Amino acid sequence: MRVGLVCPYSFDAPGGVQFHIRDLAERLIELGHPTSVLAPAEEDTELPPYVESVGGAVPVRYNGSVARLAFGPVVAARAGRWLAAGEFDVVHIHEPFAPSVGLISLRLAEVPVVATFHSAQERSRALQLAYPLVRPGLERISARIAVSEDARRTAVEHLGGDAVIIPNGVNTRTFAQAPVHPPWQGRPEAPTIAFLGRLDEPRKGLPVLLGAVAAVRAQYPGARFLVAGRGDLDAALRPWGEHASAVEGLGGISDAEKASLLASADVYVAPQTGGESFGIVLVEAMSAGTTVVASDLNAFRRVLDDGASGFLFTTADSASLAHTICRALGDPAESRARRAHARSAVVRFDWDEVAARILDVYAMVTPQQSAPRRPLLGRFFGRQG
């Protein structure tokens, strides 16, 4: 089966959706399915051989953050050529109604389209405003996937219909086998607490974590907070005085370094305040054997089985976070029990399971024979081929 994957977000600034598409593409290729990815990316971006760029992207506020999206006639022309050359059996578009190349590809595709919805919002003003424009595209979607119940609900409430839930995939063995990095390891009197996320995006929750530092250090004076992610950490630390010295910035780190960080830290903290539909980093931390402490967002609750696989604290409450970190550190037996549950729970998120379920969806929508296709660009611009 020949598969075309479409990513709306630029590969210049990778995030959860890009990682999901990258890993799915690589797993499909391993399984013998020729796969190509279409995505925005600047000309000098180093891309895997299976990724084709539609050109650079522009920053747009979308889904509570700033996304780099690509749209316009040049993007349409490149998407059309990619679709024609690929001769795909199925085109799988992620976030198909983001104002980017996915929406264009949905309009152009002549083969069955599978759509995956990643985002979760109670009310999406962008989708509400765009609905009259995207409504015709709904009929072109043969099957819908949502990565979580929250993402499914968002899609259903804004677009109607329904979607099958298939979670984000994780290469669980990569994290389970990650080597420990001694400088990131803690000791009983000096534990290490890790954070991963963009530092300049408020919903990732860094201020919530920083607000917990003083209370944690009151019980564990040697505690170290390892912060990995792009952004200005010095600016974020200025209000915290002497406690800022306990926070160590690691900057942007590689995938291998991320796995090692999670395998080394005593606790991984996910202090996000909203806008999360899944929480893939929680699964990565669970796979690495790290004790997880996460805000009690619905999406995180589901990943952590309501706390059986990790500790939950009150969202956006630094005092609750500090108390929960100290509880996790102070009760090794309870932490071990939750890590043990997590090790068994992550199986359902492994790419072996996830890719098989996605392939089942492809098989369901793929016809035995395709009808003759009209010229793609002519159809996009309203001309008959």
The ranges assigned to domains in the chain are 3-169+350-380, 172-347
3-169+350-380 and 172-347, same CATH topology = yes
Lowest mean pLDDT among 1-10, 171-180, 225-234, 274-283: 274-283
CATH of segment(s) 172-347: 3.40.50.2000
- pLDDT above 90 (res 337): yes
Q: Which residues contact 363 (CB under 8 A, 6 or more apart)?
A: 1
pTM for the whole structure: 0.84
Distance CA 9, CA 91 (A): 17
Angle between helices 280-288 and 16-30 (to 10 degrees): 60
pLDDT on residue 274:
87
The more confident residue out of 156 and 317 is 317
pLDDT in tens, 175-194: 999 999 999 999 999 999 99
What percentage of residues in the chain have a pLDDT greater than 70?
90
Question: Which residue is it, tokens 């709306």?
Answer: 8
Q: What percent of the chain has pLDDT over 90?
A: 71
**CA–CA separation, 215 and 118 (whole Å):** 35
Query: What would the pLDDT profile of 45-61 be if each residue is shown by its tens digit?
Result: 899 999 999 998 877 76
Q: What CATH superfamily classification does 3-169+350-380 receive?
A: Glycogen Phosphorylase B; (3.40.50.2000)
